[in-house]
């Protein structure tokens, strides 16, 4: 009997998001899955997916977690430490390529809130939960999982950064600490990791049955997981932009493996 590849739905916006989609597509393919992109205009009928990735992108509508939108948010300048060791050239080369790719294909399609995408992801996440399908939330996706279960967000995380500067980089420069008994620690096989950072919002109050499974030194939450579901994990960084880091690709591999068990 030939086992079919599990279908992994990957959410995204109608405009923009091509770079994230391309690298997520690559990560899912390498992990043995079949990725399919789901955007608001093409989601009248959801695909019969086996696993779900809620990707990064626009901010979530603050009304979904009973908050007023903040105005005039400002980014801090990032002070980055150089990567050292034999992997420096690989990190540099891959990073330059991804940054250039994002620049070329962003097409200026950015928005503080994407209402249509919020509705799509609310609907598709409910579907995944109903049938216990594995879910991986990336950046915005992690925040959306938390909001879905009743949690709240920090709309601006600049207050966390004083002596420790805010890092905005596609390279794995930020160190995080992972809870030792978490699913994330088991998947990655470590209690510390270096990750990239492209976000200006973060989880504030965890939702119902949400375990905070990783933080950075400033206290900003970097990962969460649902304690009552077999596989609902959210991460604040972008593993799809780290194809050269095997440890990060384990997340996609585990998602695909769990989805495969559901589909066959």
> What band does 160 get if pLDDT is binned at 50, 70 and 90?
confident
pLDDT at 224 over 50: yes
Distance of alpha carbon 150 from alpha carbon 218, whole angstroms: 24
DSSP 24: H
The residue count of the chain comes to: 264
pLDDT in tens, 139-155: 999 999 999 999 999 98
CB neighbours of residue 158 within 10 Å: 13
Average pLDDT, the chain: 85
Cβ contacts of 78-86, under 8 Å, gap ≥ 24: 78/165, 78/166, 78/167, 78/168, 78/169, 79/165, 79/167, 80/167, 80/169, 80/171, 80/173, 81/173, 83/171, 83/172, 83/173
- Can you tell me the mean pLDDT for 178-197? 96
Predicted confidence at residue 96, as pLDDT, reads 58
In the chain, domain spans? 7-263
Q: How many CA atoms lie within 13 A of 11 on its CB side?
A: 33
Predicted confidence at residue 76, as pLDDT, reads 29
Predicted confidence at residue 2, as pLDDT, reads 60
Give me the sign of the Cα torsion angle 64, 65, 68, 69: negative
Pick from 11-15, 28-32, 97-101, 195-199: least confident: 97-101
Q: Is 102 helix (H, G, I), strand (E, B) or coil?
A: helix
Give me the sign of the Cα torsion angle 150, 213, 193, 253: negative
pLDDT at 89 over 80: no
pLDDT at 25 over 70: yes
Pick from 14-23, 93-102, 162-171: least confident: 93-102
Share of the chain above pLDDT 70, in %: 81
| Beta-strand pair 202-205/210-216 | unpaired
Distance of alpha carbon 118 from alpha carbon 102, whole angstroms: 23
- CATH architecture assigned to 7-263: 3-Layer(aba) Sandwich (3.40)
Q: What is the pTM of this model?
A: 0.84
């Amino acid at each position: 009997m030939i086992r079919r590849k599990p279908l992994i739905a990957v959410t995204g916006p109608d405009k923009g998001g091509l770079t994230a989609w391309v690298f997520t597509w690559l990560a899912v393919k390498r992990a043995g899955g079949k990725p399919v992109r789901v955007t608001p205009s093409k989601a009248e009928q959801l695909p019969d997916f086996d696993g779900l990735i809620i990707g990064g992108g626009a901010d979530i509508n603050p009304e979904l977690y009973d908050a007023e939108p903040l105005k005039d948010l400002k980014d801090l300048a990032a002070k980055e430490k150089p990567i050292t060791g034999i992997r420096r050239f690989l990190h540099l080369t891959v990073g330059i390529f991804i940054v250039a790719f994002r620049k070329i294909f962003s097409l200026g399609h950015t928005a503080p809130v994407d209402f249509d995408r919020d509705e799509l992801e609310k609907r598709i996440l409910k579907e995944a939960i109903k049938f216990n399908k594995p879910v991986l939330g990336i950046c915005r996706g992690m925040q959306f999982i938390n909001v879905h279960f009743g949690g709240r967000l920090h709309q601006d995380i600049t207050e966390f950064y004083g002596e420790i500067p805010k890092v905005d980089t596609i390279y794995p420069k930020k160190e995080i600490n992972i809870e030792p008994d978490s699913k994330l620690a088991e998947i990655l096989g470590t209690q510390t990791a270096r990750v990239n950072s492209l976000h200006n919002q973060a989880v504030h109050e965890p939702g119902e049955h949400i375990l905070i499974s990783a933080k950075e030194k400033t206290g900003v939450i970097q990962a969460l997981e649902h304690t009552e579901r077999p596989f609902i994990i959210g991460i604040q960084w972008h593993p799809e932009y780290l194809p050269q880091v095997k440890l990060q690709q384990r997340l996609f591999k585990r998602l695909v493996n769990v989805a495969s068990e559901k589909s066959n």
